């Protein structure tokens, strides 16, 4: 089977942890221990978040006296793909000796006229007081907004249309490689009037990019792995109940916070609606159990799932010797 797996930002850096290299390498080892058993039996693509990492790089770049202007967001995104890609690549190679593993830099095509550019909403980088925020906005052409009682820069979060390197990823997969890609949702790019790709200052949601990629790769399943075992109804209240199985329509009747569970639910619903295949949300450590049908919130067209035998139900049985 072909499985596309999104790793949450907290898989690499848990809430409250310092973003030190050794901390993240230890987390990557934990992530790879959970994913290597799947990689041993399936074609897998791993995507990942980069929120905390890009925040650190933005801060460094903004305070580097050698630079005339800090590196733009697309460039910082590519840097995090290199760094996180390297950690995952090496850990995966060590876990699967002999297997080819590729970590690729990649771009996500967005539309220049996406309404998200007109109303930027995603907080990025450092916090400022109001006067400094306005000064920087003037100097660098930023949009700034209050975030509680501090001010921060905001950028747009346009809809991912296509992972530019989709064909390359497919080629690598069919040649047997494990592919790590679309870090941070991919570096957002537009196609300009000359038809050339050009980076834009934006952040693409990694869960939505993952569903666009999984669709394009005709994946059999998509997993969105994070730090909760299930999507819950009435989350955070005493009445909270885990959702084990759902149809996309049933999940869409619930409401989820835009900054966390919302995009994950949107991503899995979209994948299932478009492909008729299975998608799930759950805990990183449960990756294998989710595919086995014993963990996570599993979403399918009919809202049922009994394990891997239910995937590709239309596929003819393998013909072997009688």
Pick the closer one to ligand ADP by CB: 12 or 187.
12
CA 279, CA 265: separation in Å to the nearest integer? 10
Q: In terms of Cα–Cα distance, which of 105, 12, 22, 92 is closest to 52?
A: 12
Residue the block writes with tokens 């050794």: 22
Residue 156: phi and psi, rounded to 5, are: -75, 155
Q: Are 162 and 111 in contact (CB under 8 A)?
A: no
Q: Within 13 Å of residue 273, how many CA atoms lie on the same side as its CB? A: 13
| Catalytic-labelled residue, pool 125, 183, 264, 293 | 264
131 CB-contact burial (10 Å; exposed 0-12 / middle 13-18 / buried 19+): exposed
| Catalytic-labelled residue, pool 8, 10, 85, 125 | 10
**Rounded to the nearest whole angstrom, what is the least distance from the CB of residue 256 to ligand ADP in the complex?**
5
**Rounded to the nearest whole angstrom, what is the least distance from the CB of residue 8 to ligand ADP in the complex?**
2
Tokens of 318: 């393998």
CA 242, CA 252: separation in Å to the nearest integer? 16
Distances (CA, A) of 242 to 8, 229, 281, 282, 287: 19, 8, 11, 11, 17
Pick the closer one to ligand ADP by CB: 115 or 259.
259
Q: How many residues does the chain have?
A: 322
**Rounded to the nearest whole angstrom, what is the least distance from the CB of residue 289 to ligand ADP in the complex?**
17
- Applying CB under 6 A, the residues found at the interface with ligand ADP are 8-10, 49, 226-228, 231-232, 235, 256-257, 260-261
**Rounded to the nearest whole angstrom, what is the least distance from the CB of residue 236 to ligand ADP in the complex?**
7
Pick the closer one to ligand ADP by CB: 100 or 260.
260
Residue 136, C-beta contacts closer than 8 angstroms, at least 6 positions apart: 128, 142, 144, 153
**Rounded to the nearest whole angstrom, what is the least distance from the CB of residue 235 to ligand ADP in the complex?**
3
| Catalytic-labelled residue, pool 27, 185, 206, 293 | 206
**Residue 122 annotated to the active site:** yes
**Rounded to the nearest whole angstrom, what is the least distance from the CB of residue 226 to ligand ADP in the complex?**
3
Pick the closer one to ligand ADP by CB: 9 or 248.
9
Pick the closer one to ligand ADP by CB: 242 or 301.
242
**Residue 159 annotated to the active site:** no
CA 268, CA 273: separation in Å to the nearest integer? 8
Pick the closer one to ligand ADP by CB: 221 or 228.
228
CA 266, CA 263: separation in Å to the nearest integer? 5
**Residue 10 annotated to the active site:** yes
The catalytic site residues sit at 9-10, 122, 206, 264
């Amino acid at each position: 089977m072909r499985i596309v797996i999104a790793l949450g930002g907290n898989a690499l850096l848990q809430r409250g942890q310092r973003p030190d290299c050794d901390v993240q390498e230890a987390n990557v080892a934990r992530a790879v221990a959970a994913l290597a058993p799947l990689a041993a039996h399936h074609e897998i693509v791993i995507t990942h978040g980069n929120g905390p990492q890009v925040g650190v790089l933005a801060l460094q770049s903004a305070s580097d006296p050698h630079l005339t202007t800090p590196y733009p967001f697309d460039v910082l995104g590519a840097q995090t793909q290199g760094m996180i890609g390297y950690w995952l690549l090496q850990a995966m190679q060590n876990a699967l000796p002999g297997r080819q593993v590729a970590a690729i830099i990649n771009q996500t095509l967005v539309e220049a006229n996406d309404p998200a550019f007109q109303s930027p909403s995603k907080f990025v980088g450092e916090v400022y007081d109001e006067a400094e925020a306005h000064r920087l906005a003037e100097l660098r052409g930023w949009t700034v907004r209050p975030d509680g009682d501090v001010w921060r820069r905001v950028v747009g979060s346009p809809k991912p249309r296509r992972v530019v390197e989709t064909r390359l990823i497919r080629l690598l997969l069919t040649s047997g490689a494990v592919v790590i890609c679309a870090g941070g949702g991919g570096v957002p790019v537009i196609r300009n009037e000359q038809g050339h790709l050009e980076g834009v200052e934006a952040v693409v949601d990694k869960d939505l990019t993952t569903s666009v990629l999984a669709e394009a790769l005709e994946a059999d399943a998509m997993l969105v792995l994070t730090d909760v075992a299930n999507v819950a109804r009435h989350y955070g209240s005493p009445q909270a109940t885990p959702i084990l199985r759902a149809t996309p329509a049933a999940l869409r009747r619930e409401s989820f916070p835009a900054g966390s569970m919302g995009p994950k639910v949107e991503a899995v619903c979209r994948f299932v609606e478009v492909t008729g295949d299975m998608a799930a949300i759950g805990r990183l450590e449960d990756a294998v159990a989710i595919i086995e049908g014993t963990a996570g919130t599993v979403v399918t067209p009919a809202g049922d799932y009994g394990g891997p035998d239910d995937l590709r139900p239309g596929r003819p049985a393998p013909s072997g010797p009688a």
